[in-house]
Amino acid sequence: MHPGAGLEIKRNTLHLNWSFGASYIVNGCSRKLPRLLYVADMANMISHTCWRDVRARLTRFAVLGGLFIWVASTQAQPLTLTYRDAVRMALAANPELRIVQFEEAVAQARMLQARKRTPPDIGLEGEDYLDVFTGQHSASLEPVLGIFAEQDLGIWGQRRRRILASEAGLLRVRSEIRDVQRLISRLTGEVYLTFLLAQRNLAAAEDALAHLQETLSVVESRVSSGESAGLELMRLQINLFKSESEVRLLRLTLEQMRTNLLSILGHADLATPVIVIDSLTTAPLSAEDGTPIASIDGVLLSAEALIIRASASRPDLVALMHETTEAQAVINIERGLLWPSTMLIFGRRHHTHEAGSEFALQMSVPLLWGRNKGGVREAEASYDQTVARHEQTLMAMQNEVQQAIQSVNAHADRLRSFDVEYRETLESLHNGMHASYELGEATLSDLLDVHSTIYEVNLLHNSVLFDYNNSLVMLAAALGMPPI
């Protein structure tokens, strides 16, 4: 009997079991027991074989399915980006920006607290008199029980000053948030353009390697036919090795730039492939309608107009102006502490034989008028410090805008002077030189010189495009333009 089959006799009852767990019960001792045992054995063997085959198929299906799911999960989908997408993702994921945004909630709570009027103070008063010698209640003085409410009228404008300071503080925090967004946008633009530059440099190096590989077959045929010396083949192989090494280094640079870009975007998987739609030949940093960033209605602005524009709208300067207003309000608050405080008192007093209401207007005058002189001087020093920082930031902004405009103009001139037709002429010269070398009319040195020149010109063109676009990023940050 195969494993899994079983036979058991209890109380004139025969039990036959196999791997499916089914039981056939036969009452009494039958004469057909051998045949019955044979049938049970065959059924057990068939069922065991079928179940083993099904189990093996299910196991293979589960393993292959799990492997497919694991491979699909490990292969991350590529991230398609534009410049505007990159800026939005960086702003959404930056932890420093989230910290400053929490400060806005704190400033809002302070403003609500400042607008709230001071609640009245409610007190309970009780008086009883004992004779210190007899320990009994005094007969001439009656016990008194009273309840009173005191309300500060605030007639000297302290509440208004606190509201003004809190509102200025809230506006300052909001301007600081926009300034952090400005700095994040500038950093994101630099990293994004560096990634584009690494892509173009790698493409130029791969094209140069492809040209050398095409030349290798020609040199090998010339050396095999005896038209060229073996030294030329060795020289070309050395140049091929240099070009392959350059491609590997540029691939590593591209991977590093991709990691930096994904890190600043706050992406969870730093190994995710990135596909960028923009290129250095386009103008990803222009406005939505395609006009340059340093223009209004398509008209380019002068340096003086841009400085005036930045002075009124740049977030760090706006934040310092609100901070100045806040510091002036704090000075007024400190000075207001020197004035008398006015309290309105209302209560009810109950004696043993009578009860009555009391109403009073209390004014507390400080005896020492110079008691808050330190607080006033500290507030005035803070105000002077804020004004000085505003002037310093204004001068730095003017210098930054002026340098950014000069950089944009200089790199724009470089880009215009870079003749694209000249690069096409070099490419045509390379093709002609390649044909001349095949015919034996040019040397390998001439061909390699043209090849090296084309590669250097492509890298120079990429550098000019990067410098021009990066200068636009710097100008946008200097002007305090809002994130795209």
Residues 411-423 pLDDT 10s: 888 888 876 667 6
CATH entry 3.40.50.2300 includes domain 119-153+339-370: no
What is the β-pairing status of strands 144-152 and 23-27? Answer: unpaired
Q: Which residues pair with 146 in a beta bridge?
A: 125, 349
DSSP tag of 301? P
In angstroms and rounded to an integer, the radius of gyration of the C-alpha atoms of the chain is 44
**What is the helix (H) or strand (E) element at residue 80, kind and residue range?**
strand 79-81
3-state secondary structure string, 387-418? HHHHHHHHHHHHHHHHHHHHHHHHHHHHHHHC
pLDDT attached to residue 38:
53
Rounded distance between C-alpha atoms, residue 301 and residue 475, angstroms: 12
Beta carbons within 10 angstroms of residue 138's beta carbon:
13
Tell me the angle at which helices 158-224 and 83-93 cross, rounded to the nearest 10 degrees: 130
- Say if residue 27 is exposed, middle or buried (CB neighbours under 10 Å; 0-12, 13-18, 19+): exposed
DSSP tag of 147? E
Q: What is the CATH number of domain 79-116+177-337+372-479?
A: 1.20.1600.10
Beta carbons within 10 angstroms of residue 50's beta carbon:
12
Residue 10, phi then psi, degrees to nearest 5: -135, 125
Residue ranges of domains in the chain: 6-74, 79-116+177-337+372-479, 119-153+339-370
The answer to whether 206 and 247 are in contact (CB under 8 A) is: yes
pLDDT attached to residue 41:
57
Q: Taking the model in full, what pTM does it have?
A: 0.70
Buried b or exposed e, range 100-128, using 16+ CB within 10 angstroms: beebeeebeebbeebeeeeeeeeeeeeee
Rounded distance between C-alpha atoms, residue 392 and residue 399, angstroms: 11
Regions in the chain scoring below 50 on pLDDT: 1-33, 71-73, 284-299
